[in-house]
Amino acid sequence: MIDFKNADFIENPYPALKELRAFGKPIWHEDLNMFLAAKHSDANDVLRNKSLGRIFVPKTPETEWFEFNYLHADSILDSEPPKHTRLRSLVAKAFNRHRIEALRPDIQRLTHQLLDSIEAKGGEFDIIADYAEPLPVKVIAALLGFPDSDEHLLRPWSQSIVKMYEVNPSQAYKDEAKKAAKEFADYVHGLMLERLKNPTADLITELAQVSESGEKLSTQELIATCILLLNAGHEASVNGFGNGIVAAFNHPDQWKLLQAQPDAIADTAIEEFLRFDAPLHFFDRTATADTEIGGVEIRQGQKIVSLLGSANRDEDVFIDSDRMDLTRDPNPHIGFGAGIHFCLGAPLARLEMSISLPELFKRFPTLELTTTPVRRPTFSLRGYESVMAKAK
């Protein structure tokens, strides 16, 4: 059975996931004490089945985990209807497609600023640290109303918190997550109190004021929502971009396509980035009643995980599933999830990538990777720490 902490598996999980799909049904993993749904149909059903819930179990002792616990218990991601319905409805009033599309000029401006900085430096640069990471962080930070001077705090806090989504996180990961959750929550709470006194044109102010039928976000729900928006608004974008760039470089014919037609293939390329090497691989749910997934009975209280990255390589759904095809269409991947927990930040991530990907290749048409990319040692949230490149 798969060892989710094995370094070789983390480096390339796809052969093992292919073997898992060969069973044709969800398989029980004894060490994790949950079922693994590796097929596209099963993984998709896990995300959509109404007899399965996203049940957050508070970490203990609760005095140590207070902030981390409420950042999850009071967030859209870790709640179910009716609470999820209420939270999502309130947040959607402020963070909607119209507001996201209105960010297009700002994203274009920031993209060109980052490319100008890279060009001014000359020589080698890091696609992650110099481009893929700062763009979405700057966009969501500006949207929420975080001061520019504090942007450097956000990504480290986010990365420390999301390490808890890994399979059996280490004690070091737990300690980092507790500390980051408290610091991040205290920081957002301070901003919220300031915005209540002095409202400004940002999302924190709007979330503090939004209501529906007399319902408003509580203080903890508002803080949890802001932090979720920051995390969801950039993790998928950063990791999806980095994973896709490295994969495309390893498929020379696809790299040449990006160099030759960056605008023409941008939309399908983004979707293939998200399919081929998904930024999120592991999303578990719990049976709230006896149910069936892929012909296997999941009893009330048992967990089953949707293996999104495996689903996106399912040979029964995708032709030549292990080959990257930046013109693939249709592309029914579930890289952003599905159902009520479809990624809240997906429209923003798609908009950012649809601008930043072609602009990178138009500015540097002879772009090449220069050293072996450095992968993050994580499976659930899969990405790179560093991807060095140079315009030849």
Residues involved in catalysis: 232, 235, 237, 343, 352
What token pair was written down for 179? Answer: 């500390």
What token pair was written down for 251? Answer: 């498929």
Name the β-bridge partners of 291.
298
Helix (H, G, I), strand (E, B) or coil at 76: coil
* DSSP code per residue over 189-216: HHHHHHHHHS--SSHHHHHHH-EETTEE
Alpha-carbon gap, residue 358 to 364, rounded angstroms: 10
Alpha-carbon gap, residue 1 to 157, rounded angstroms: 33
Alpha-carbon gap, residue 279 to 210, rounded angstroms: 31
- Measured from the Cβ of residue 320, the count of other Cβ atoms closer than 10 Å reads 9
Alpha-carbon gap, residue 151 to 64, rounded angstroms: 26
Kindly list the distances between the CA atom of residue 242 and the CA atoms of 154, 209, 329, 376, in Å, as whole numbers in the listed order: 19, 36, 21, 11
H or E stretch at 149: none
Place of tokens 């659930």: 380
